[in-house]
């Protein structure tokens, strides 16, 4: 996958291990800009301000950030402080805590002078594994789209919510990986792209799909149910920020409503995720912490004006309160199945245990 002369991998570690660069997603889709991160504090800021977003990419960014912190202070207290600072940035996406725990566990028994390089090695492994897992998700999910194509004339219509593409991962994406695989295999697809208010991550999905040549149409969030009821959607594909042991799925706010509409309309609802997004410690989605973000993300919008300048506008009357829960939980009973790097399974304890017997 390429975007002009640039690779579409969302994170670029320095060869000298002095830092790494990430795409500034707060400036997309209007401008492609890479931001260099050379301290753990900058990594934490990039995560909290959503310069990087998407559970897998957040995890990789945090892993590199922890490695940078250990260059400054590789003592046990230094490791603990940096890990706590990075972990506090965003509470819902489990990949963050997972990646930090993995790096910390890897270096715990090493002398301080060996920790930074070993942590960097582990961060690179996390990034490489994520790209490979997303590619595998694409291969497994391709079968669903191929089956849908065999049952109809014309393109397979897929509805997405939020952005679960290469911008949200290290490469390929989760929910978009099967779409790219199908498109590249010559299967006609068309994607209904939810705008995904309040941060309009659908614009990022449209940016990705357009660069890859995949036909797509951006729609208002509330249009999805209408399209499903009219038979204009063949399947729904979304990503996840955390999946509980019983198959409950936390994803961008509004996902639950799409699952309800899909169930009522008889549309398959599939969730794509790598194993790093499964939280084996949680019995159900009721225990998943839900991030509450700034009300200004609801009361204000950013966009290009007629001159090409990015402007920020208030769209809510002054004095009106706004609430901004960033995620919701879709019960496993509404999920047709999960697409992981190991294959397809039911959204249930038994389904996950079949694919991951060592974890269950």
**All structural domains of the chain with their residue ranges:** 2-129, 139-355
Which CATH number does 2-129 carry? 1.20.120.420
Q: Which residues touch 356 (CB under 8 Å, ≥6 apart)? A: 275, 278, 342
Q: Tally Cβ neighbours within 10 Å of residue 312.
A: 9
What pLDDT score does 314 carry?
95
Q: What separation in angstroms does the CA of 320 have from each of 46, 47, 298?
A: 29, 28, 11
CA–CA dist 276, 97 (Å, integer): 10
What pLDDT score does 190 carry?
98
**SS3 sequence of the chain:** CEECCEECCCEEECCCCCCEEEECCCCCCCCCCEEEECCHHHHHHHHHCCCCCCHHHHHHHHHHHHHHHHHHCCCHHHHHHHHHHHHCCCCCCHHHHHHHHHHHHHHCCCCHHHHHHHHHHHHHHHHHHHHHHHHHHHHHHHHHHHHHHHCCCCCEEEEECCCCCHHHCCCCCCCHHHHHHHHHCCCCEEEEEECCCCCCCHHHHHHHHHHHCCCEEEECHHHHHHHHHCCCCCEEEECCCEEECCCCEEEECCHHHHHHHHHHHCCCEEEECCHHHEECCCCCHHHCCCCECCCHHHHEEEEECCCCCEEEEECCCCCCCCCCECEEEECHHHCCEEEECCEEECCCHHHHHHHCCCCC
CA–CA dist 37, 24 (Å, integer): 11
Contact assessment for residue 66 and residue 100, using Cβ atoms and an 8 Å cutoff = yes
Token representation of residue 45: 């800021």
Q: Which residues are catalytic?
A: 241
Picking from 48, 60, 75, the residue whose alpha carbon sits closest to that of residue 22 is 60
Q: What separation in angstroms does the CA of 168 have from each of 4, 38, 55, 201, 248?
A: 19, 21, 7, 10, 20
Q: Which residues pair with 302 in a beta bridge?
A: 312
What pLDDT score does 360 carry?
74
CA–CA dist 326, 293 (Å, integer): 6
What pLDDT score does 6 carry?
46
CA–CA dist 347, 330 (Å, integer): 11
What pLDDT score does 4 carry?
41
CA–CA dist 156, 167 (Å, integer): 23
Of the candidate CATH numbers 3.90.870.10, 3.90.105.10, 3.40.50.1820, 3.40.50.10470, the domain formed by 139-355 belongs to 3.40.50.10470
- Look up tokens 């006609």; give the residue: 188
Tens digit of pLDDT at every position of the chain (360 positions): 444 434 447 999 999 999 999 999 999 999 899 999 999 999 999 999 999 999 999 999 999 999 999 999 999 999 999 999 999 999 999 999 999 999 999 999 999 999 999 999 999 999 999 999 999 999 999 999 999 999 999 999 999 999 999 999 999 999 999 999 999 999 999 999 999 999 999 999 999 999 999 999 999 999 999 999 999 999 999 999 999 999 999 999 999 999 999 999 999 999 999 999 999 999 999 999 999 999 999 999 988 888 988 899 999 999 999 999 999 999 999 999 999 999 999 999 999 999 999 997
What pLDDT score does 86 carry?
98
């Amino acid at each position: 996958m390429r975007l002009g002369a640039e690779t579409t991998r969302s994170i670029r570690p320095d060869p000298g291990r002095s830092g790494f660069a990430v795409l500034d997603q707060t400036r997309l889709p209007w401008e492609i800009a890479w931001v260099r991160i050379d301290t753990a504090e900058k990594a934490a800021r990039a995560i909290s301000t959503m310069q990087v977003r998407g559970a897998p990419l957040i995890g990789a960014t945090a892993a590199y950030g922890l490695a940078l912190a250990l260059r400054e202070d590789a003592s046990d207290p230094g490791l603990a402080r940096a890990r706590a600072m990075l972990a506090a940035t965003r509470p819902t996406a489990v990949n963050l805590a997972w990646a930090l725990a993995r790096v910390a566990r890897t270096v715990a028994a090493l002398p301080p002078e060996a920790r930074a390089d070993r942590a960097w090695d582990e961060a690179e492994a996390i990034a490489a594994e994520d790209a490979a897992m997303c590619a595998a998700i694409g291969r497994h999910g391709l079968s669903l789209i191929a089956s849908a194509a065999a049952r109809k004339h014309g393109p397979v219509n897929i509805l997405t919510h939020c952005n679960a593409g290469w911008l949200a991962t290290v490469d390929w994406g989760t929910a978009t990986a099967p779409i790219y695989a199908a498109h590249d295999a010559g299967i006609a697809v068309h994607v209904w792209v939810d705008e995904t208010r309040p941060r309009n991550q659908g614009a990022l999905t449209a940016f990705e799909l357009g660069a890859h040549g995949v036909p797509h149409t951006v729609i208002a969030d509330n249009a999805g149910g209408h399209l499903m009821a009219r038979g204009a959607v063949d399947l729904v594909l979304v990503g996840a920020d955390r999946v509980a042991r019983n198959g409950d799925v936390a994803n961008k706010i509004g996902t639950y409503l799409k699952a309800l509409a899909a169930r009522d309309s008889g549309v398959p609802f599939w969730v794509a995720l790598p194993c790093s997004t499964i939280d084996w410690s949680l019995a159900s989605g009721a225990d998943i912490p839900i991030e509450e973000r700034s009300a200004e993300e609801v009361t204000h919008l950013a966009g290009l004006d007629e001159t090409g300048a990015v402007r920020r506008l208030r769209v809510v009357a002054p004095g009106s309160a706004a609430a901004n829960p960033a995620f919701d939980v879709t019960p496993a009973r509404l999920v047709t199945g999960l697409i992981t790097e190991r294959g397809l399974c039911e959204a249930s304890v038994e389904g996950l245990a079949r694919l991951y017997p060592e974890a269950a």
